[in-house]
Amino acid sequence: MSGTLEKVARGLDVVVEACGWLAAWTGLALVLVMAGNVLMRYAFNTGSVGMQELEWHLMSPLTLLCIAYTIKHEGHVRVDILYARFPLRLRQAIDLFSALSVVVLSVIVIVLSWRYVMQSYRIGEGSPDPGGLPYRFILKAMIPAGFLLLLFQSLAATLRALIPFLGGQAQPPAQVPSHAPQ
């Protein structure tokens, strides 16, 4: 049973890893767009509303789609002062409770944001500013997409946290090979 849970968790890890890695590249695009906007403004005394809006259109996938990736790689802030001193079984229970809580939170945000995205899609929402970007629903769709990835990561953590309670040996999260330089 624990082998099956770990296998499913590793499959979810692969999805989170791939999406997070692709979304992280929007950081480079964001830097290039911002540098271009600054160059245009100060060197040529001109600018574009669409290019300025593109900055926050790129910030959306960077932040929302990379949350799960960051948690997977333990790049988040963690306070271990008390946790590290707790008995193993209590830490395992805390891990399970925490993972399940994030699963519930993710489902709630996905459900609540879906109507928001679909309304934007149905009305063909675009920027209200002249020269702004169309297809605002794509930007808004990053909310449920980001929380879907967080749901996947939390399900993987939940499955791993269940293993010790089912009599299996707890294993550290699988490290999917990173494409980033070491």
Tokens of 73: 């790689």
Q: What is the pLDDT of residues 40-76, one digit of tens each?
A: 999 998 888 889 899 988 988 888 888 888 888 877 7
CB 55 within 8 A of CB 37: yes
pLDDT tens-digit readout, 14-33: 888 888 888 888 899 999 99
The CB-side HSE value for 144 (13 A sphere, CA atoms) comes to: 15
Q: Over the stretch 109-154, which tens digit does the pLDDT of each residue have?
A: 999 999 999 999 999 999 888 888 898 999 899 999 999 999 999 9
Query: pTM to 2 decimals?
Result: 0.81
In the structure, what pLDDT confidence band is assigned to residue 170 with cuts at 50, 70 and 90? low
Q: Which two tokens stand for residue 113?
A: 């944001």
